[in-house]
Structure 1
Amino acid sequence: MSFFILSCNTHYLFCSAQMAEAILIAVTKIGSILGDEAIKAIIAKLSEKVTNLKELPVKVEQIRKHLNMMSNVIRQLGTVYLTDELVKSWIGEVRNVAYHVEDVMDKYSYHVLELKEEGEIADDVVGVEKEIQLVVQLKDQWLQPSQLVANPTEMERQQSQDSFPEFVQDDDLVGIENNRILLTGWLYSEESESTVITVSGMGGLGKSTLVSNVYEREKINFPAHAWITVSQIYTVDTLLRKLLWKIGYIEQSSSARIDKMDVHDLKKEIQQRLENKKCLIVLDDVWEQEVYFQIHDAFHNLQGSRILITTRKDHVAGLSSTTRHLELEPLSQPDAFDLFCRRAFYNKKDHMCPKELETIANSIVERCHGLPLAIVTIGSMLSSRQRLDIWKQTYNQLRSELSKNGHVRAILNLSYHDLSDDLRNCFLYCSLFPEDYHMSRDSLVRLWVAEGFVQSKEKNTPEMVAEGNLMELIHRNMLEVVDIDELGRVNTCKMHDIVRELAISVAKEERFASANDYGTMVQMPNDVRRLSSYEWKDDTALRVKLPRLRTVVSLGVISSSPGMLSSILSESNYLTVLELQDSEVTEVPASIGSLFNLRYIGLRRTKVKSLPESIENLPNLQTLDIKQTKIEKLPLACQGQETPAPSSR
């Protein structure tokens, strides 16, 4: 059983950035309610019999104004001022109010339309008013004007418009040619026996990029080939199943189902399919030697085969002979500057750096210490602004960040801080998925829309806006493209593990999301808003009460019963997203029908065979993903929902 835990050091600059986004969601929901003619009419009618409802719209508007003013104050804070613990504590109180407002507004819009709990809604709004008054008093009582001074060097945000560089092509890879030739030569060396090749180096040096380029060029010359991402969290049977699928395994009957095979059966099946075949197998991002030793007997006796391993760890690099080990080094200054210009000036002829920016550009590149991840990230960030003063501000901020962080992390911090408001939640949301997880474009778009992170803009639907956000995050190197579809669109993407560590640390600090292993779930704070786990074990003996929970992303639930799921569904009235893809769950509790706020249900590749009739009671359901399940019939009310069509696997 394995989980990913949200735990890393966080730096203060995130507080103002993410806090503004928390307020943005609350304010957006208030705006939707105040502009809803149906709600206005119902409030007017109800106020005739419930006196304290008459001024409800006015009170809600006042809450919106207060939140906007708080947002403006927080936006003025520079990163230096956020090292002040009093300021940080006050920002935390504002965040709590914003989260409470979001909950109350969801409840408001539903219950008013349903003509339910009129008096309770009014009481909730009054409660929020009191919280806001307390936050204002705290600011006036404890914070001095000097602590809230605007930062004169705050960076301009100028989001690039609809124009993104193409996905990475060979011409965009700088400084790898010699290493590519070396690795390719090792693939075709004279050794007749199976040979292990290792590529090592610190995070951000481009190990996977180099090996991927070699693999894609040369795999056609190997009758069997497979790329397996290992990462820190893995199980042997999962790795072997991945390998079996990659080498072309096709299930012939239910008795030969791959999910029923144990490790011994999986290895035997792999051996049979690879027999007398020369193969190329990449094990990407390996942290322990044990990984190789646990699975290598499935393929190590193959004649002329090559096993390519990428790793950050020296002891893993020792799996190969010294003559088949490549340790990557940082880029030289000329190559580093070339790579920077290719990203910063991607839309200029020959990617030439303007004369007036050459000096500051060289200084910025020097601070990247030859690390490709750092170079392309900051180059992408600066690509939409070509002003000398902005670049100087960026350089000064970078110097400040470098005093607290390593080179890559410092640059990623700046890049996160530079994201526009509507991108930050989309970025942090990706930390809910396991390390190296391939996130599909369609799923991310639907999830972001369901969460309320994107709104219609001009003639663009929320889905179109979400796709634009995805492309912007890719352009900024905050997400990496894994593959594209036949139309040239992004099909799946992932987070570099260093970028994900950043997202996890911010998500934890801002109480945006949390995850715990099975044994400590019960110890989580009861105001957690998003819960993420991987292969969580569902047990009837464990009960949790999470009244503020809005999202559950739990991929691969190991379920012997619906105990934990039933507990969450019965206690989490504000739940918006329930993602249980690839889980062993066999049924959905009937209590799901009481979740008025539920907008997304993901059951792809689960063992659910039917849905409870109560699912018809979900008024806000947007997406019901039952792809590759055994569900054959939908409740009548769900048949108009967006339900991905079945597929073969």
Structure 2
Amino acid sequence: MLFQVDRAYRGRAVGAYYVDMLISELADYFKDKRYLVMVDDVWSVQDWEIINECFPENNLGSRIITTTRIEAVANAAGDRVYRTRLLGEADAEALFSRTIFGSVGRCPPHFKDVSAQIMRKCGGLPLAIVSVGGLLASKAHTRDEFERSGLKWRENSELEGMTQIIKLSYNDLPPHLRPCLLHLSIFPDNHEIEIERLARRLTAEGLISECCYRDMEETATDYIYELIDRNLIQPSRLNHDGTHRSCIVHPVIHDFIVCMSTEDNFVALAHAQQKFVPRGYRTIRHMSLLNSGKYDQAAAQIDGAKVSRARSITVFAHTGGMPRLNYLSVLRVLDLEDCEGPLCLDGLCGLLLLRYLNLKGTDVSKLPAKIGELRCLETLDVRSTKVKELPPSILKMEMLKHLLAGNARLPTGIGMLRSVLTVSCSNIGMSADADILQELGEMASLRELELFCNLTQMSEDQKQVTFSSDGFKSLRKLSIRCNSPSVTFMTGALSKVRVLELKLEQRVLEKSRGVYGIEHLSHLKRMLMEFSQHDAGAAAAMAVVRKVVETVHPSCEVITVNIDN
């Protein structure tokens, strides 16, 4: 910097200066000047703090512009932060055309379809558009050359410059974040990933540093947020409170981490039609099985002996080709979310080290009676399946933290599970489940509860869900989806609940406000009310609730959502 602003210092040995001396020289140079300085590509807050000492506040209208890829640096550098966005479709096409053909609109007709594919793969990232466009501009303009050079980046050594730029960001990651980023290569390109699901997986696979004063899943979520702040992954959807709900990996970054994962033997990517694990992989620790079509569904199973040391198996689209569970004795993560096709769970109860089991959205209709033998299991997700009831043996799962039961009936004695933090279940209010709510209230560690209440078969005077002053001593968040709205909170109920979400699926009668006792929730900070219909009953219910909240909980944020409009 000193050489750039004062040529008198050019040629002097940099090693002759200490940092403090350089700062002093620069500060002295700027002290009586009005200056405009741009500091490009700052990588850490510590670097910025050192550089910032060079610029005295002399009230002469000077300006400093910094660029960075890291959110924390931008926030440290000043309160006027401009966040660059990915290019829109029109701007991306214009840049692409100018780079290759010299001007906008000169793309030959027979190149348009493959050009559109290349631009989709670039995902609006100027670096990728300019790099690929520059490469294609120097090639013979044939369709085959376009497709080969523009879409197969991993095989193209001429795009090494773009790869090296991305690798700078990867190399700058602290050691604990690198495996978390490589882990994302398990998911297909442009796949939306729920952050809760990702945090639980990272924890189950042992990729999170243990901290004596913090929950490991909270630490995992912090890691994910740090990758977002470094612009290596992108948030895709937000929760109602503004926190990130899901994320995606940009196609350019995805290609990079797939390449890195393959080189480091971190993840084995396979397709069912291969009928074997691809060559080049040594001991396989994490396998991602990508099934996409009818050919996949008829494929033979991957030889389980090839993946016998795998710590995680993740399957997408269809269960065809999935290795038999009997071979996977050291498996920690089995994730089959939203897979179609028949599912064989033979050997599941032998996976004694399994920590994460995700069967959400699959065709499974019954869990093995001895599933309770999985004593290390931390997450069990059977939402949106045909499972009607959970086996009583799950009461043996002393390490279970997240019980996502969906429509499956919970066994009597569920309150015995003392380590559970999250429960999602339905049919609360049915006569056979009359005591389940009371048992859930006995869970000493329960922090988050999601209830789906079906009260249509109850008499009018029974159509209600009531929370008494007993139980739920640790609950922080309560979500209720109810098709016949009548929820009551008694005096002293839910003393620590900070977030209340009510989703009412049927018409609210105008004479009924649907919710009673909001004033008794002493620590309420945020309330969401969601109505399936926008009518006079919904408006009246919302007005009453708002009035109570504003009177009793003036600092509480109230959010209203109408699904139909």
TM-score normalized with structure 2 length: 0.45
Larger Rg: 2
Query: Which structure's residues are more often helix, by fraction?
Result: 1
